[in-house]
Structure 1
Amino acid sequence: MPILQKYRAYYRSNFLLGLPVMLAQAGQMIVVLADNLMVGRLGTVPLAAASFANTVYIVGMVFGIGMVNGLTPLVGKACGGGDTLKAAMWLKQGLYAFQVATLALSLLLWLISYLMPFMGQADEIVQEALPYYRILVVSMIPNLLFFTFKQFAEGLGNTRIAMVITIVSNIVNILLNYLWIFGKWGFPALGLMGAGYATLVARILMALFFIVVYFSLDFFKEYRLKLKKTHFSWSKSKYLLMLGLPIGGQHFIEVLAFSLGSIMMGWLGASALAAHQIVLSFASFTFMISQGIAAATTVKVSHLVGQRFYDKIRTVTFASLHLVLLFMGFSAVLFMVFREVLPAFFIQQPEVIAIAAGLMVVAGGFQLFDGLQVTMLGALRGLEDVRMPFAMLLIAYFCLALPAGWLFAFVLDAGPNGIWFGYLLGLVSISLFLLLRFRWITLRKMKRA
């Protein structure tokens, strides 16, 4: 089609840049699945303890990962402008600022562990969850060091290195899980603690692998040389944190909103909550694909900003949007057509499948707008616009999606579907807000160019 001709050059490059991000995230999902399968063989209490610990931990973890994402657009802008010294300078600021912020975040999460006995869980679950949770908190330090190098490399346009390191570390994680959880090859059987130690060791290896790669590959040679000429700057580090913290806030808001939705779903009964988790698993998988394209969009847009090619920013972004909407549209059709078949892979209870089938229809509509909003967030990050999107997400989820979900589900008696209607309404609104915001910023930049 002639109208799509100008986007063709970017379809392939955007997809190939985002593909390693998708594969790395898929690897992480496989590790989570392997963890659950192995810990589940220990019994109900260890599995519940792992779930409880991860639920508390994940909110802080996604905030930290989001925070470190602030490095990518700054490095990308410097790379696009051909300023290797500035790109190296941002890496140095990230290594200092993010590690201090990580230590503070880890301390906060450690202190939260003293509140876990008061979160309404059975004593036996809390007792087993606490040491496992604290190991996870310690593992955050090397994990966010890895992400600092990862986001630096992505800013330079290389997403493959992090993918390879992640996949290798995931294999190590699964192997150590098997050895330490069940006590194989002469190791003691550590149970849930074995899973925690395996995660810690794998994350330490991820950080060490990337440090070795950074000091070994010719790809980073010029940046290593320039790094020696840079120095720590409070003002630069502050700017980096002011860019990263709202991104962390965006991740935090989304995780918290879906966690609160799960709590509301639990008010409707165990079957509703089980159906909700099943549908959320499918939605999370498709979101992972969109997130990979969004990450590529951030890199491409930041490079164009550095090159001052503002007229191409829209073309690159809409090329990503076409890819995402095509995939999410296909996913939506699958969700609706196979709404009763897909949940049956998880569970055989007719009541749960019936509820999940209804949710799958709503999730089908949810797909398109979920892909739209994450792609636009990626483009706006490339433009270093993060504070207003953070405010938009806050309003959309907490002033619209969750209240509307409660109203539909409990006042208008829409049941489980009502909560997902609330999410759908929130995503429609945030998608429109972000599109308008993107249009306004790009028009302003083109006029000033």
Structure 2
Amino acid sequence: MEHTTTIRQKLKQFLMLFLPVFVTQLSLFMMSFFDTTMSGHASSSDLAGVAIGTSIWIPVSTGIGGILLSVTPIVAQLTGAKKKEEVAPLVIQAIYLAIAASVIIIIVGFFTVPLVLQEMKLEPEVRRIAKGFLTMLAFGIPSMLVYNVLRSFIDALGQTRVSMLITLLSLPINIALNYVFIFGTFGAPRLGGVGAGIASTVTYWCILTIAIFIIHTKRSFSTYEIFKKLYRISLATWKELLKLGVPIGFAIFFETSIFAAVTLLMSTFDTATIAAHQAAINFASMLYMTPLSLSMTITIAVGFEVGATRYRDARQYSIIGIGLALCFAAVYSIIIFLFSEQVASLYTKDAHVLQLAQHFLFFAILFQVSDAIATPVQGALRGYKDVNTALIMTLVAYWVIGLPSGYILATYTSLGATGYWIGLISGLACGAVFLSVRLVHVQRIKQKEKKAA
């Protein structure tokens, strides 16, 4: 990144950072998108099984991955403060932490996933597919988490186009392997939703291999000498990463897990409702890649400026990011409203599932404004390294307000499954308000500190 002096320069630099991040996030999401849509064309049971498996996996992966996102603001601030020599030890310690986390996840999942699936009121075939999908996915956990660290390092340097190219190279691999293992082509067994887990795991390892090669050979990264020295484990550095990363990870976990919890609670409904809900949530999640990408870009830009104590510039980047998010939200709302039938048909050919998915998609329109505010604001707060209050706010908004209200509406009114969607919307709206107030407060404090200095 470079220091800019005008709004026009900032907008240009922000867009240059954002567009590759957006393509990267969209490409990573497309793995899940193709897992879901291609499984849905195998059968409704495969779609429901992958839906349940994904609902268990996403909160875990995004929560742990969120902890590792602490690498981005730390490296961004080190770069802004011109402390290049401190980057390599930090990144290596983050890789050690990612490996340790992957081992813990695999061990815990081995004992808990069968119990969770057994307690759910699922049809036997749906339960079998969900378990098989998660089992295959487990082999890709180490590669996915280590790549998260390397990508955070790459992005923190402002080289977001490199992350984009890595992901784009891996996407065709995932699609091809899905085609082979889900539908049993080229002599492979027809595995349905379980095959989607195999495809994702292989793709994760491909992404990691490509990232290591580029960091080791490309001059803009090789000068940091990330892999030149094997450092001893530093618990002090782990503590630094976790102190910042745990609140980030749990804040993301609280947000993503509420969607997973709703899908799991919907297991009391029939397979068609589960499938339709997953189709609508999956598309809404794809649109969520835009505010999420803007959030990650804001973290990079704000972190860089905060590291250089240019708080006015940091505030301007926050405004640019939130403004862009609201513009995208307006466009996406119009698309959902006009083309809900076409969107739903991407996931299923079943007439009943198609009708239910269209119904849920209209509620997804209301997600857009809340996501366009709450998610970028969280990114700005991470750039300031202000994460603990955001953690509490997301916990209250999503789990104290959103999920309970959704459960009450779904259980004790005639709304049924729709009640959960209304609860989700309420939680997201409260989160947007809470976090916005916090960001304004933090920005004022920083300005006062600078004036006092």
Q: Which 5+ residue runs of structure 2 have no aligned equivalent?
A: none
Matched, 1:62 2:62: yes
- Whole-Å separation in 2 of the counterparts to 1:339 and 1:188: 35
2:179 maps to what in 1? 178
**One-letter amino acid of the counterpart of residue 146, structure 1:** Y
- Whole-Å separation in 2 of the counterparts to 1:412 and 1:43: 31
2:384 maps to what in 1? 383
2:282 maps to what in 1? 281
Cα deviations by residue, 1:369-399 (Å, 9 ceiling, x for unpaired): 1110000011111111122111111100111
1:307 Cα deviation after fit: 1.0
1:402 maps to what in 2? 403
Gap change, CA 1:260 and 1:235, over 3 Å in 2: same
Query: What is the TM-score with the length of structure 2 in the denominator?
Result: 0.87
Matched, 1:17 2:10: no
- Whole-Å separation in 2 of the counterparts to 1:251 and 1:45: 29
**One-letter amino acid of the counterpart of residue 111, structure 1:** F
Contact 2:44 2:271 in 1 (8 A): no
1:235 Cα deviation after fit: 1.4
Query: What is the TM-score with the length of structure 1 in the denominator?
Result: 0.87
1:195 Cα deviation after fit: 3.9
- Whole-Å separation in 1 of the counterparts to 2:35 and 2:23: 18
- Whole-Å separation in 2 of the counterparts to 1:87 and 1:368: 37
Matched, 1:319 2:288: no
Gap change, CA 1:264 and 1:16, over 3 Å in 2: same
1:330 Cα deviation after fit: 2.4
1:137 Cα deviation after fit: 1.1
Contact 1:243 1:386 in 2 (8 A): yes
1:212 maps to what in 2? 213
Contact 1:180 1:195 in 2 (8 A): yes
CA RMSD of aligned residues (A): 3.1
1:339 Cα deviation after fit: 5.7
Matched, 1:251 2:252: yes
1:176 Cα deviation after fit: 2.9
Contact 2:52 2:264 in 1 (8 A): no
Contact 1:302 1:383 in 2 (8 A): yes
**One-letter amino acid of the counterpart of residue 14, structure 2:** N
Contact 1:67 1:245 in 2 (8 A): yes
Contact 1:106 1:137 in 2 (8 A): yes
- Whole-Å separation in 1 of the counterparts to 2:421 and 2:182: 37
1:166 Cα deviation after fit: 1.4
Q: Structure 1 residues 436-445 or 72-81, which shifts more?
A: 436-445
- Whole-Å separation in 2 of the counterparts to 1:94 and 1:375: 24
Contact 1:275 1:355 in 2 (8 A): yes
Q: Which 5+ residue runs of structure 1 have no aligned equivalent?
A: none
2:71 maps to what in 1? 71
**One-letter amino acid of the counterpart of residue 107, structure 1:** I
Gap change, CA 1:237 and 1:318, over 3 Å in 2: same
1:114 Cα deviation after fit: 3.7
2:35 maps to what in 1? 35
- Whole-Å separation in 2 of the counterparts to 1:182 and 1:336: 33
SS, match of residue 224 in structure 1? coil
- Whole-Å separation in 2 of the counterparts to 1:357 and 1:178: 26
Contact 2:156 2:300 in 1 (8 A): yes
SS, match of residue 223 in structure 1? coil
- Whole-Å separation in 1 of the counterparts to 2:99 and 2:226: 22
Q: Structure 1 residues 151-160 or 326-335, which shifts more?
A: 326-335
Gap change, CA 1:169 and 1:446, over 3 Å in 2: same
Q: Structure 1 residues 311-320 or 107-116, which shifts more?
A: 107-116
Cα deviations by residue, 1:22-69 (Å, 9 ceiling, x for unpaired): 212322333334334554565555554444433333332222221211
